[in-house]
Amino acid sequence: MNTDESGNRQGAGGPEKTAVPPEAGTQAAQLEKLQRTLEEAEERARGNWEQYLRAAAELDNVRKRAQRDIEAANRYGLEKFALELLPVRDSLELAVQNAAAADAQSLKQGQEATLQLLTRALEKLGVTLINPAGEAFDPARHEAMLAQESPLAPNSVLSVLQMGYELNGRVLRPARVIVAKAPAA
């Protein structure tokens, strides 16, 4: 018997048929395993893509909902404020209608009642009065209109020219005050 270049033995009748080497079966099994792994990875990728699309759609819905909420807050945000001020307007309207027939004392009482209505309405909305009479001057909450010599402690508030207001701890308008300064030597 002769051997050809590939190492196969050849008899007189031609090349001899040999069994598939064990390496070829292992390679086929590995190829099949790799194909299954690829298919599984592609399936996971499709699932992840679908999850991404759902998440993107949900995010878009949340964004649109938030935008609608902001628009509604801008449109109707003053509703509570307006509802609180309506009784004040009603009181003023009644005072104007009855002004000709009313005496000074009843007009004063009506104005005081209207002021109380307005004060309560503002308090319900979180607006509080800044009345710094006798306190130390605070430039964050007070606006000094004048500094006047006084025997009181320097930088203390002597008098309040105009009350200030805060909304939930944030200054809307500082109180306008006269501040004490040390007497000249």
pLDDT digits (tens, 9 = 90+) for 52-109: 999 999 999 999 999 999 988 888 878 888 888 899 999 889 888 888 888 888 888 9
Q: What is the pTM of this model?
A: 0.58
Query: Which of 35, 56, 76 represents a domain boundary (last residue)?
Result: 76
pLDDT at residue 107, rounded to an integer = 86
Residue 6 lies in a domain: no
CATH number at residue 140: 2.30.22.10
What percent of the chain is modeled with pLDDT above 90? 56
Question: What ranges in 12-155 are assigned the alpha helix state H?
Answer: 22-76, 79-98, 104-124
pLDDT at residue 15, rounded to an integer = 55
Structural domain range at position 177: 126-185
Distance of CA 162 to the CA centre of its chain: 33
Residue 7 lies in a domain: no
Q: Write the DSSP symbol of residue 150.
A: -
Query: Which of 76, 93, 117 represents a domain boundary (last residue)?
Result: 76
Residue 16 lies in a domain: no
